[in-house]
Structure 1
Amino acid sequence: MKPQNIEALWTHLHWLTVLAQQGSFTAAALRLGVSKAAMSQRIAELERAAGAPLVQRTTRSVRLTEAGQRLVDDMRGPFEQIAHSFAGVRDLAGVPRGLV
């Protein structure tokens, strides 16, 4: 996959991490504010791009494959850093500045 196309999948990677945290497509879709069908479609797109299954689906459960778990584990740190950085910027926006 070309590097510029990987950037188009960053949201998909986030959705995979939410799916791993929530443990079901329904709960993950609810947390993200999207439909279950959209959630499933994004994960399927990510699997096609990766060339490997990332999620084992059954009628009652969802489990990450070894590849899916590795991807989620590798993304955990960067996503936590993004959240931390964003919170810092938001905190700066709330701090009064200038002459009083």
Structure 2
Amino acid sequence: MADDSTMTIRAIFVTREAADLAVEHLVQQHGIARPDIFIQSATDRNTAGSAPSGGDVSHNDGVRRDAPLEGEIEVSADIASSQLAAVQRSLGDAGALRVSQR
């Protein structure tokens, strides 16, 4: 009998760009609906990540100063237990610093 229980998986990213890539992996590779994926600051501070990337970098003056880079970003989703290993690999491939589940 297959295990169809669900669990919450969480991954921590340094940049918003990496978090967005992780969301695309979850949607496109694992069929997780976008409304079931959550992105938020990993701390109590508003943040766009802890390192500049993508739109945070100006091609003229270096790092933009109008977006707070004050902490890491958490991506979380409820997944089927049977997806755990594959989803962990995808999140790692997208650049997750840490991946945990409960």
TM-score (norm 2): 0.27
- Name the one with the larger strand percent: 2
- Name the one with the larger helix percent: 1
TM-score (norm 1): 0.27
